[in-house]
Amino acid sequence: MRSGPESARALIGRLASVFTELPDPEVASGSGRLGWGDVPAAAGCSSGGPLDRAGHDDTSTTATTTHDRSSHTDTPTTAHDGPLGWPGYDDQLAQATERTGERESVVCGIAEIGRVTAMVVAFEFGFFGGSLGTRTGARIEQAFERARALRLPVVSLVRTGGSRMQEGTPALLQLQRIARQLVLTREAGLPHIAVLRDPTTGGGWATLGAGADVALGIRGAQVGFAGSRVRPPGYSVTQQFAAGLVDQLVPPDELRVRLERWLRLLTPAELEPAAVPAALGCAELPDTGWDAVQRARAPDRPRAAAYLAAYFDWHEPISGDRCGGVDSGVLCGFGQRSGTTIAYAAQCGTATRPAGFRTAARLVRLADRLGIPVLTLVDTPGAANDAAAEKAGVGAAIADMFTAVAAARVPVTTLVIGEGGSGGALAFAAPGRLWVTPDSYLAVISPELAAAILKRDPSRVRDTADQLRLRPQDLVELGIARGVARPRER
């Protein structure tokens, strides 16, 4: 029997061609049928050995072992009715097992999803509402550890109501345990994709869900820290997407295809610099600086969406800055070009808002961690400078993007495809790997504002544009750009 529209195993069966379940860590350790696993003594507990209550390394003594931590957790590994001795909890567990066929609220194993082998952590909502208990934490921890040992990406199929009440604070501590695994997996350079099912609430959302590299939300799902019983009505995945906290909304029947694509994108085989895109607009260089500005501002000039469509065989977007903001004027994601994965961050010709810089910086850092080259497309009159942008920290957001590009170990390739206005444009630009199109420019500031700052008459704007030497050919001559991209020969 199952609870809800689809059990964990049914979903795995729909997504994977092959699935091999991991052995239960409790059975493997011989801790007994109702063992409660190891409750972490501290959030920073390393894998080298247990810590005592004062945080001192206790590996030099023989009194405490990894299977007997009652001296510092006060929780026997064979506790009756769970770590709190909750009356009737053992019976409730037995009933949950009889109802679902599962021994815990997560099913973990190695799956073949499309062309990629991945570690899967799937929540079974029929087992205590997919809640996190101490044994749940042990299973998730084992799955992430095994993924790192085998160099596998992790897919979390999240469907949970939060932490398990019958286990109290020991259950809550599993969030620290899971967070540690997320950190170690990031440090190992392995991707983690979360699928947010209905519902994804509490600590499951605040760790595996919101902490994933890419979050795919199933349309119609309740997703939020507070569930519907805590703060009705529940927060929807659509609202989380609008707030920049979910990357994509996915219809249930499209999940397998979308997941296969993402796994292919985030597990690249090689690292080569992104090729410079061919120019899509004018082929001739502008005669004057003002001509360059006018061309870049032309409403019919090809924009970022056209460049991405021409450049990639297919691509998948990410969305949002994970801080509550989305900028529709910046397109970010990963694409395939001739079998190679390339990350992209592209300005769309509007003033870039703080959320746009932060989303792009998130993209660059993720690509850098996974060893994926980056392509940036510059096209903005400049950073947004209204009161709302200042309040949202536009200066700090620009700095975030500057430092993300500067710190990147993977090659970043930049093409200026339109306006290149001041620091808002330069933040997207790669030092030493910048190209320009014939209908683009890059300047310290727009000619109009430069004339105003210099207290010149407005009639001198055109002269100022020439003096700024902002034309594509000027940028090459000045050593700012490496070359002018040309249209593809037909």
On the question of a common fold for 8-20+90-267 and 289-484, the answer reads yes
Domain topology for 289-484: 2-enoyl-CoA Hydratase; Chain A, domain 1 (3.90.226)
Q: Given this model, what pLDDT does residue 226 score?
A: 81
Q: What CATH superfamily classification does 8-20+90-267 receive?
A: 2-enoyl-CoA Hydratase; Chain A, domain 1 (3.90.226.10)
For residue 76, pLDDT over 70 is answered with no
For residue 358, pLDDT over 80 is answered with yes
216 three-state secondary structure: strand
The mean predicted confidence, pLDDT, of the chain is 89
**Relative orientation angle of helices 8-15 and 255-266, to the nearest 10 degrees:** 70
pLDDT tens per residue, range 364-405: 999 999 999 999 999 999 999 999 999 999 999 999 999 999
Distance CA 479, CA 277 (A): 20
Distance CA 310, CA 228 (A): 45
Distance CA 81, CA 166 (A): 9
Q: Given this model, what pLDDT does residue 26 score?
A: 64
If you write DSSP's letter for every residue of 270-319 in order, what string do you get?
A: ---PPPPPPB-S--SPPSSHHHHHHHHH-TTS--HHHHHHHH-SEEEEE-
Q: Average pLDDT in the 280-300 region? A: 96
Residues 6+ apart with CB under 8 A from 265: 316, 334, 335, 336, 341
Higher pLDDT, 230 or 171: 171
Buried b (16+ CB within 10 A) or exposed e, 203-222: bbbbbbbbbbbbbbbbeebb
Distance CA 354, CA 323 (A): 10
pLDDT band at 229 (very low <50, low <70, confident <90, very high): low
If you write DSSP's letter for every residue of 309-332 in order, what string do you get?
A: HHH-SEEEEE---SSS---TTEEE
CA-based angle 297:298:300, to the nearest 5?
A: 135
Higher pLDDT, 61 or 269: 269
For residue 39, pLDDT over 60 is answered with no
For residue 69, pLDDT over 70 is answered with no
Q: Given this model, what pLDDT does residue 37 score?
A: 47
Our measurement of the distance from residue 438's CA atom to the centroid of its chain's CA atoms, rounded to an integer in Å, reads: 34
Q: Given this model, what pLDDT does residue 488 score?
A: 86
Q: Given this model, what pLDDT does residue 36 score?
A: 52
Any idea where the domains of the chain sit in the sequence? 8-20+90-267, 289-484
pLDDT tens per residue, range 433-455: 999 999 999 999 999 999 999 99
DSSP run (H or E) holding 116: strand 116-123
Q: Average pLDDT in the 74-82 region? A: 61
Q: Average pLDDT in the 314-341 region? A: 97
Higher pLDDT, 131 or 25: 131
pLDDT tens per residue, range 147-184: 999 999 999 999 999 999 999 999 999 999 999 999 99
For residue 209, pLDDT over 60 is answered with yes
pLDDT band at 235 (very low <50, low <70, confident <90, very high): confident
